[in-house]
């Protein structure tokens, strides 16, 4: 039963928002409400989503993309795009406040985006780019909140898993924000060796 649940969860993360998957005795039934059609998937194919090889899973995802039930990953954001997003997020935080920006994440980073596992190399590249722009810009000036929100939004908009954390430390009191993905944090979760206790974690769409 747990394996079935894992397989259904893995498939749901891949499907477009207009598709729904239901477990049936012979496997799974995908309802494509945009085209008003139904697609069947055998139990063996379902299991490949949960514990198959990357090649097997990629083959199934490609089939779903061709059928219109899933969307391909967006390309990585360019260096210029990352810089524009970072400055825009920083300006928004300065204008309306960090709390209100967090409430807007459901618009900027919808929770129905594909939520595949990113590679450490992808996240590391984004981290280098974000922090490079942040350190070079007198306007952003290494602001952790802008870096964390920018990283979260860009990863989520590409359909990759990311969690935005807001943490505090008591002595002396300070607040810090960071986004974790693929085992990496943007910016670092413990800057200058100071540990922060998470008090808020957002894993998609402002939830």
Answer for the pair 163, 149: CB distance below 8 angstroms, yes or no: no
Residue 206 has pLDDT above 60, yes or no: no
Counting residues of the chain whose pLDDT is more than 70, the rounded percentage is 90
In 10 A of CB 141, how many CB atoms?
11
Q: What is the pLDDT of residue 49?
A: 74
Chain centroid to Cα 29, Å, comes to 26
- Structure confidence at residue 4 as a pLDDT band (50, 70, 90): low
| CA nearest neighbour of 151 among 119, 175, 186 | 186
Torsion of the alpha carbons at 152, 154, 159 and 161, rounded to the nearest 10: -30
Q: What is the pLDDT of residues 42-75, one digit of tens each?
A: 888 877 777 777 677 778 888 888 888 877 666 7
Q: What is the pLDDT of residues 120-169, one digit of tens each?
A: 998 999 999 999 999 888 888 889 999 999 999 999 888 788 999 999 99
Higher per-residue pLDDT: 100 or 204: 100
Chain centroid to Cα 113, Å, comes to 8
Q: What is the pLDDT of residue 202?
A: 92
Residue 112 has pLDDT above 70, yes or no: no
Q: What is the mean pLDDT of residues 197-207?
A: 77
Per DSSP, what are the bridge partners of residue 37? 32
- Structure confidence at residue 2 as a pLDDT band (50, 70, 90): low
164-182 in b/e burial notation, b at 16+ Cβ within 10 A? bbbbeeeeeeeebbbbbbb
> Is the Cα dihedral 100, 200, 158, 144 positive or negative?
positive
Q: What is the pLDDT of residue 74?
A: 67
Q: What is the pLDDT of residue 36?
A: 84
Domain ranges of the chain: 2-66, 79-202
Answer for the pair 30, 21: CB distance below 8 angstroms, yes or no: yes
Which of 81-90, 93-102, 115-124, 158-167 is predicted with the least confidence, judged by mean pLDDT?
A: 115-124
Q: What is the mean pLDDT of residues 103-128?
A: 81
Q: What is the mean pLDDT of residues 79-103?
A: 93
Strand order, beta sheet including 27-32 = 19-24, 27-32, 37-42
Answer for the pair 112, 205: CB distance below 8 angstroms, yes or no: yes
Q: What is the pLDDT of residues 171-184, one digit of tens each?
A: 888 999 999 999 99
- Structure confidence at residue 188 as a pLDDT band (50, 70, 90): very high
d(CA 126, CA 132) in angstroms, rounded, equals 10
> Is the Cα dihedral 131, 84, 200, 20 positive or negative?
negative
Give SS3 for 175: strand
């Amino acid at each position: 039963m747990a394996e079935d649940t894992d397989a259904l969860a893995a498939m749901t993360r891949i499907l477009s928002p207009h598709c729904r998957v239901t477990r049936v005795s012979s496997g799974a039934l995908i309802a494509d409400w945009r085209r008003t059609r139904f697609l069947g998937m055998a139990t063996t194919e379902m299991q490949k989503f949960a514990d198959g090889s990357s090649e097997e899973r990629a083959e199934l995802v490609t089939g779903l993309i061709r059928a219109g039930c899933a969307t391909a990953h967006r390309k990585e954001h360019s260096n210029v795009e990352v810089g524009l997003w970072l400055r825009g997020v920083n300006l928004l935080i300065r204008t309306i406040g960090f709390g209100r920006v967090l409430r807007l994440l459901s618009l900027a980073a919808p929770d129905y985006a594909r939520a595949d596992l990113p590679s450490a190399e992808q996240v590391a590249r984004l981290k280098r780019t974000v922090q490079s722009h942040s350190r070079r810009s007198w306007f952003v000036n290494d602001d952790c909140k802008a870096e964390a929100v920018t990283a979260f939004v860009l990863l989520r908009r590409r359909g990759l898993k990311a969690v935005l954390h807001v943490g505090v430390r008591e002595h002396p009191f300070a607040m810090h924000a960071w986004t974790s993905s693929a085992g990496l944090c943007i910016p670092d979760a413990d800057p200058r060796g100071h540990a922060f206790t998470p008090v808020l974690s957002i894993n998609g769409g402002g939830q």
